[in-house]
């Protein structure tokens, strides 16, 4: 039977990594967002350096700080996940180990992200 797919349809999303350009694009989009967000995070750490417990919490509880830091954490973790996937795909050749590491990568990102966001929300909501 003749192939009814257009060349574009065959190519889209089916490169050698089976993911086409989606992965590449996601790394780029998150990296663009992370340029200002990282600068904000560096500024925040500088601004709270040496401050005590109450001062730091008061700063983290400010809605603008909490929102921007939350975005920094979420987008950083998405970017990290993509980056580590690339590293794993490049250096790990055994399919079993690769699968395990890709899972661990996702778990790591979810646990770190969950912890950061819970902490941020708890402080922001005054807990």
Partner 1 sequence: MSNSTATRPGMKPRPLSPHLSIYKPIPTMMMSIVHRITGGALYFGMLLVAWWLVAASTSEDAFGLAQGVMGSWIGILVLIGFTWALWHHLLGGMRHLLWDTGYAMDKHTATTLAWATLAGSLALTLLTWIAVFVVGA
Does position 77 interact with partner 1 (CB under 8 A)? The reply is yes
Does position 102 interact with partner 1 (CB under 8 A)? The reply is no
Does position 1 interact with partner 1 (CB under 8 A)? The reply is no
User: Of all helices (H) and strands (E), which one includes residue 81?
Assistant: helix 63-91
- Nearer to partner 1 (CB atom), residue 14 or residue 110: 110
**Among positions 33, 60, 74, 89, the unique one binding partner 1 when judged by CB under 8 A:** 60
Q: Which residues contact 83 (CB under 8 A, 6 or more apart)?
A: 27
Contacts of residues 66-70 at CB distance under 8 Å and 24 or more positions apart, as own/partner, are: 66/120, 66/121, 66/123, 66/124, 68/37, 68/40, 69/40, 69/41, 69/44, 69/120, 70/117, 70/120
Does position 116 interact with partner 1 (CB under 8 A)? The reply is yes
- Nearer to partner 1 (CB atom), residue 6 or residue 93: 93
User: Of all helices (H) and strands (E), which one includes residue 110?
Assistant: helix 95-124
The contact set with partner 1 (CB under 8 A) reads 28, 31-32, 34-35, 38, 42, 46-47, 49-50, 53, 56-57, 60, 73, 76-77, 80, 83-84, 87, 93-95, 112, 115-116, 118-120, 122-123, 127
């Amino acid at each position: 039977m003749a192939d009814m797919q257009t060349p574009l349809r065959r190519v889209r999303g089916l490169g050698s990594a089976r993911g086409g350009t989606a992965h590449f694009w996601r790394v780029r989009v998150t990296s663009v967002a992370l340029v200002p967000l990282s600068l904000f995070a560096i500024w925040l750490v500088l601004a709270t350096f040496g401050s005590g417990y109450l001062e730091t919490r008061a700063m983290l509880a400010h809605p603008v700080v909490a929102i921007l830091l939350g975005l920094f954490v979420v987008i950083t973790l998405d970017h990290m996940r993509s980056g580590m996937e690339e590293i794993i795909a490049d250096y790990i050749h055994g399919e079993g180990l690769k699968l395990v590491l890709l899972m661990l990568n996702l778990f790591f990102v979810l646990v770190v992200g969950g912890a950061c966001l819970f902490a941020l929300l708890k402080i922001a909501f005054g807990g």
